[in-house]
Structure formats: structure tokens, C-alpha cells
Amino acid sequence: MSEAVLATSGFVGASHLRFVRWTNRLVRVPDVGFHAPWQNEPAILVVWHGEHFLVPFIGPPNHPMNVLSTLHRDGEALTRGGMRLGLKFVRGSGDHGKEFMRKRAVQAFAAMLRLLRKGETVVLTADVPKIARVAGLGAVTLAKHSGCPIVPIGLATSRRVRLSNWDRTCINLPFGRMVMVRGEPIRVARDADAAALEAARRDVETRLTEADARAYAIADGRAVV
């Protein structure tokens, strides 16, 4: 993908998302204190892969948000669009072989840890790569070493198109309702062993699944706030 195509894709993607935000009525749950877990301290926000396009609007405004992104070329266009919407990015693993991926993952983890220790919030998808809706150990390991809470976020719009790829990517559309549901924060002890990390991983998976389901239920009118 050429530089011109990447730049154009980023511009078009950011413009579409701005239009989606402007033309959807925003509902946050809880309405009061939605941002509290990451306004007073840095936090690790987690969303499901494929539900990530609304991340630039989680807020609050002027709050540093650092998103873990892939090195794949298709991810570069998303990164360009996100930067236009005020996000910062930490580059993660790509498709250059297992050893390269391992080194990049270690570098990305260290970068996120530094950002959290500086007081900045990070955002990452919770899924195991290519296995949708199954949380990996990345977020809980980061929480253990940083002491920061994990905050699950469910994101949905009432009007959308769902793709048939591995993560069932949701393309958010304008002229409807946009819903953001914050789950209860999850903390991981600094001395957590393998069993405790696995328990925390399951907790992240459960709470994120619940937040995601509630966001869609509210967006679709099947539940009330």
C-alpha cells in the first residue's frame, strides 16, 4: 500500500468516524463517573477486536490515550485515521516472522509500561490474536507490572454493518445511537502467580463480554439505561 493510499485511507476513515460521532446520540453507562477510573490515575482500557473504531471518542477530551496497534499494512491505515482523531499509538507485532513478532511484542509491552508509569492511559484489544472474544494474558500481565486497573469498555452503534472476518468487525454507521458501557475495573496484585493471572484473565473476559452485550442491548433498544 503506497504512502498516498495510506494517507487517503486515514483521512477518509477519520472523516467517516467524525460524521458517525456527530450524527449519533451518545449514551454513556454509567452516565455519571464514566471516565472516573482513568481520570484520577492511568488505566488499561480493553475492548474487543472488531469493536475498536469508536475508541477515539471514549474520552474525556484532552486526555492522553495510547493505543496498541499492529504493524500490518492494513493496520497502518487505521493508525493514520486514529492519529487524525487525536490518538497516539504504540506499535506492536507484525507479520515478519515469529522472532520479529516476539521482539516487537516485548518492545510494545515495555513502551506501554513506561506510558502507564508516566501517568498516561493505554488502550488495547483483549482478544488472543485471531481468536475472537477470548481474552489473552497481555492486559492482566500489564496490570500486574504497572499496578494500574483494567477497565473493560463495550462500544456499539444502533446502525452498523457486521463483516464476516475472524473478529466480525463492526463498521459503525451514522444517524442512530452510540453507546459506551464501562465495566467495573479489575486489579491484579503485583505478586500474582500463574493461577491468579488466569483468574484475572477470565474476569476480564467475563466483564468485557458483559459490557459489550449491554452496549448492544441498549443501542438496539432491548435494554434501558
Residue 200 covered by a domain: yes
Rounded to whole angstroms, how far apart are CA atoms 44 and 217? 25
pLDDT (tens digit per residue) in 55-114: 999 999 888 899 998 766 666 778 889 999 999 999 875 444 455 456 678 889 999 999
Residue 210 covered by a domain: yes
pLDDT, greater one: 38 or 98:
38
Task: State the CB neighbour count (10 A cutoff) for residue 220.
Answer: 15
Residue 224 covered by a domain: no
Q: Are 212 and 48 in contact (CB under 8 A)?
A: yes
Residue 171 covered by a domain: yes
Residue 44 covered by a domain: yes
Q: Are 88 and 192 in contact (CB under 8 A)?
A: no
Residue 225 covered by a domain: no
The predicted model scores a pTM of 0.93
| Pairing of the two strands 170-172 and 160-162 | antiparallel
Q: Number of folded domains in the chain?
A: 1
Rounded to whole angstroms, how far apart are CA atoms 99 and 111? 18
- Which range, of 68-72, 155-159, 219-223, averages the lowest pLDDT? 68-72
Residue 61 covered by a domain: yes
Print the domain residue range for 51: 3-219
Instruction: Using pLDDT thresholds of 50, 70 and 90, give the confidence band for residue 48.
Output: very high
Residue 192 covered by a domain: yes
> Does the pLDDT at position 190 exceed 50?
yes
> Does the pLDDT at position 7 exceed 90?
no
